[in-house]
Amino acid sequence: MIELDEEQSRARDWFESLRDRICAAFEAIEREASSDAAFSYTPWNRDDDPEGKGGGGVRGLMKGRVFEKVGVNVSTVGGSFSPEFAKSIHGAGEDPAFFATGISLVAHMANPHVPAVHMNTRFLATTRRWFGGGADLNPPIPYVEDTEAFHAAMKAACEPHEAGDYPRFKAWADDYFWIPHRKVHRGVGGIFFDHIEGDFEPNFAFTRAVGEAFLEVFPRIVRRRMGTPASEEDRAQMLAYRGRYAEFNLVCDRGTLFGLKTGGNIDAILMSLPPVATWG
C-alpha cells in the first residue's frame, strides 16, 4: 500500500467525494426516466505488483435508460515510470518515481440528442507537483444552447482563480481534442489544462471548481434533451460519431497511454470506449 502525505490524501478524498456525488446525480436522472439503473463498483489494486507499483482504484459503471454507458473512475497509484516513458512526464526525467490520483468520467448517452461527455481532474507528483484535467462536450447532434451553457460553466469555474485561464484552456482543448487523421474536432470543446503547479491551496481550489461546474451543468443539459424524439437517422449519426470518438481515445489520447504505461486497470482505462459504434 502506498503512503500518502497530506496534500495527496486531500486530493484523493476530494476526487472520491466528487465521484460519489456525480454518481448519485446520474442515478437520480435514471429514476426520473423510470429506470432503476445504478452504478456497480469494482475495486482493483496493484499492491501485490512484483515491480513494486502500489495503489489502485474503483471503477464505477452504469448502463441505464438515459446513460447507455457511463463510467466514473477514481484511481490512486504510485511507483516508477519506465526510463523512456519518464522522459515524457513533467518532472520525471531525472527521477522516475511518481504518485497520481484523479477522477475520470465518460458518458455515452442512449438518446442521440443528449451529448456524450468527458471530464477528468488529477493531481500528480514527480519531482514536481501539479494539477491537470478538463472537461469537454461531445454531441452527435450539436445544439448551440448546450454548447454555450457548457462553455459558460467552464468559464465561470475559471474566472475567480488565478490559475484559471479560460481563453488559454479553451484553445488548449480545441487543439488537444482534434482528430488529425480525420481533420475534425472530437466534439464542441470545453477546457483542457495541465501542469498547474506552485501553491497547492489555490490550485486545488481551482480544480475543485471545475468539478463543481461539471456537476452543475451536465445534468442540466441531460434533462433538457433526454426526452427529445430520435429517429433511426439520428441514431445512425450517433453511432458514426462514436466511431470517431473511439478512434481519438485509442490513437491520440494521452490519458489512455498514461494508464497503460503505469499498469492501470485495463477495464477502467478503456471504459471510455462506446458500447456500440459504426465505421464506414
* SS3 state at 105: strand
Closest CA relative to residue 263, chosen from 119, 16, 43, 56: 56
Rounded to whole angstroms, the Cα distance separating 192 from 29 reads: 27
Rounded to whole angstroms, the Cα distance separating 253 from 88 reads: 14
Burial of residue 181 (CB within 10 Å: 0-12, 13-18, 19+) is exposed
Burial of residue 252 (CB within 10 Å: 0-12, 13-18, 19+) is middle
Q: Which helix (H) or strand (E) holds 249?
A: helix 232-251
* SS3 state at 261: helix
* Neighbouring-strand partners of residue 80: 97
Give me the catalytic one of 108, 113, 118, 161. Answer: 118
Query: What ranges make up the beta strands (E) of the chain?
Result: 40-45, 54-62, 67-80, 97-109, 116-125, 129-138, 178-179, 184-185, 189-197
Judge whether 118 counts as a catalytic residue.
yes
Which residues participate in catalysis according to the annotation? 118
